[in-house]
């Protein structure tokens, strides 16, 4: 049997054991994969590809600056660093976390569980002073009416007590949702893929724990055991003296017994291919380029930069839009306030690309020299705030008002008229 067949047979046998001592009755419904492994958000993080993908998204997102703008009636935007939301998002959202840790934690919850929650704490003036994160596994939704918006949050505290919060007291960030209330859990959706990866990882651990030889073999016995109990007693005795600290010692077989070891065949060699495929499969679920979680099989110098840009465009940008829309609608609650996650640092490119970008903007007049210096974290210089105007270009309207250039003299014709100084 191949390693996959033996693995499936082992877990089929465990599923059939429904005795009071079996794990079957203690496994939550819907949390076991077809491979037999128990898959939860915490179990999934034991798989290196899942941990790498979640950490990549959460850490990268937490490094991005968050800007708050005040939009005037004519559409002009100006930075609103004096707004009360600015220090919460950029300095200290609560009394025990800084902004990076807070955004990393919430994005990790959102990526892994599909939901992230914060308790909104305000002062006597009604101004928000703290955004305290809550663990998604401790929160349930309790419907209070027939309307889809009639619900509240039930939070189980660490000491076992239960608190109930109305919608205005909890900031709820949700991922892709089927009902508009709860986000779908990526781990629940990817349960079979992650379960297969965990099963292969456990199989590999057992394989190398057994000195990199297949677990199992068979004993040829020319006679017959008197009953099943005698056969079971012999099996347990043999395993006892060949396992643990006795592994590797010479066994002595009696009564003409012969031990036959199961060798590794070509099908067993697919184990490594399966583990490699699972990395690509997990990257697909989290929409991250495989090379960013250390799978470089298909990465080349010609496509790795493009894949990195796709990570920003198709993975991080939708998450940023969720944050921006939720903060504007549920926290700021002000139509004149816009929240924007800045991706400039990820899209800067190398020094040659940035130099060409700044040169194009400055020479064409849509970027000032001090704005270019600010983008490079350099202090402004006096006299560099005015945009440059190309002298060889003008708008169509300005061109009609400009005086016509004097015509050149025609060959064999009269000389061009000279301006009269009088």
Q: Quick one: pLDDT at residue 280?
A: 87
User: Per residue in 85-142, pLDDT tens?
Assistant: 999 999 999 999 999 999 999 999 999 999 999 999 988 877 889 999 999 999 999 9
- Residue 310: is its pLDDT beyond 50? yes
3-class SS of residue 220 = strand
User: Per residue in 260-272, pLDDT tens?
Assistant: 666 555 455 566 6
- Residue 14: is its pLDDT beyond 50? no
Please give the residue that has the higher pLDDT: either 372 or 255: 372
Question: Tokens representing 412?
Answer: 């064999």
User: Per residue in 153-180, pLDDT tens?
Assistant: 999 998 889 999 999 899 999 999 998 8
Q: Mean per-residue pLDDT for 367-385?
A: 88
Q: Quick one: pLDDT at residue 31?
A: 63
Share of the chain above pLDDT 90, in %: 33
Query: In the structure, what pLDDT confidence band is assigned to residue 416 with cuts at 50, 70 and 90?
Result: low
Q: Quick one: pLDDT at residue 389?
A: 80
Q: What is the largest CA-CA distance in the chain?
A: 137
Q: Quick one: pLDDT at residue 418?
A: 62
259-271 as b/e, with b when 16 or more CB fall inside 10 Å?
Answer: eeeeeeeeebeeb
Q: Quick one: pLDDT at residue 182?
A: 93
Q: Give whichever of 7-16, 135-144, 370-379 has the largest mean pLDDT.
A: 135-144
User: Per residue in 284-306, pLDDT tens?
Assistant: 999 999 888 887 776 666 677 78
Least confident of 47-56, 183-192, 349-358: 349-358
**E strand or H helix that includes residue 397:** helix 396-401
Q: Quick one: pLDDT at residue 194?
A: 85
pLDDT mean across residues, the chain: 80
Please give the residue that has the higher pLDDT: either 196 or 323: 323
Q: Quick one: pLDDT at residue 190?
A: 86
- Residue 21: is its pLDDT beyond 50? no
- Residue 415: is its pLDDT beyond 80? no
Three-state DSSP string of 356-392: HHHHHHHHCCCCCHHHHHHHCCCCCCCCCCCCCCCCC
Query: In the structure, what pLDDT confidence band is assigned to residue 15 with cuts at 50, 70 and 90?
Result: very low
Q: Going by DSSP bridges, is the β-strand pair 115-122/128-134 parallel, antiparallel, or unpaired?
A: antiparallel
- Residue 391: is its pLDDT beyond 80? no
Query: CA-CA distance, 338 to 319, in Å (whole number)?
Result: 16
């Amino acid at each position: 049997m191949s390693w996959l067949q033996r693995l499936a047979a082992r877990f089929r046998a465990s599923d059939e054991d429904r005795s009071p001592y079996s794990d079957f009755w203690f496994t939550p419904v819907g949390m076991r994969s077809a491979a037999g492994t128990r898959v939860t958000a915490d179990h999934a993080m034991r798989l290196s590809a899942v941990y790498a993908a979640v950490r990549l998204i959460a850490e990268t997102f937490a490094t991005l600056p968050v800007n708050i703008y005040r939009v005037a009636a004519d559409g002009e935007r100006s930075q609103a660093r004096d707004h009360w939301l600015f220090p919460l998002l950029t300095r200290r959202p609560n009394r025990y976390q800084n902004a990076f840790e807070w955004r990393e934690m919430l994005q990790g919850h959102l990526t892994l569980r599909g939901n992230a929650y914060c308790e909104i704490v305000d002062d006597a003036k009604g101004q928000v002073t703290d955004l305290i994160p809550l663990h998604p596994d401790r929160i349930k939704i309790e419907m209070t009416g027939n309307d889809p918006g009639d619900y509240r949050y039930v939070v189980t505290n660490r000491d076992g007590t239960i608190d109930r919060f109305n919608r205005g007291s909890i900031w709820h960030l949700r991922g892709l949702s089927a009902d508009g209330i709860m986000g779908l859990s990526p781990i629940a959706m990817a349960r079979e893929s992650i379960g297969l990866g965990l099963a292969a990882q456990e199989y590999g651990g057992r394989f190398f724990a057994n000195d990199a030889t297949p677990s199992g073999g068979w004993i040829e016995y020319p006679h017959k055991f008197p009953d099943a109990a005698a056969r079971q007693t012999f099996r347990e005795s043999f395993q006892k003296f060949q396992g643990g600290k006795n592994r590797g010692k010479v066994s002595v077989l009696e009564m003409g017994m012969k031990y036959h070891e199961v060798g590794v065949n070509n099908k067993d060699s697919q184990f490594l291919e399966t583990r490699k495929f699972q990395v690509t499969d997990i990257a697909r679920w989290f929409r991250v380029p495989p090379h960013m979680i250390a799978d470089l099989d298909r990465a080349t110098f010609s496509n790795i930069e493009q894949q990195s840009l796709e990570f920003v465009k198709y993975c991080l940008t939708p998450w940023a839009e969720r944050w921006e829309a939720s903060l504007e609608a549920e926290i700021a609650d002000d139509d004149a306030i816009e929240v924007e996650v800045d991706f400039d640092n990820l899209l800067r490119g190398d020094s040659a690309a940035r130099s060409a970008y700044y040169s194009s903007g400055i020479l064409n007049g849509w970027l000032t020299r001090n704005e270019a210096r600010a983008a490079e974290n350099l202090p402004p210089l006096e006299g560099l705030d005015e945009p440059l105007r190309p002298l060889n270009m003008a708008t169509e309207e300005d061109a009609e008002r400009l005086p016509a250039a004097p015509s050149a003299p025609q060959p064999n014709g009269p000389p061009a008229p000279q301006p009269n100084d009088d």
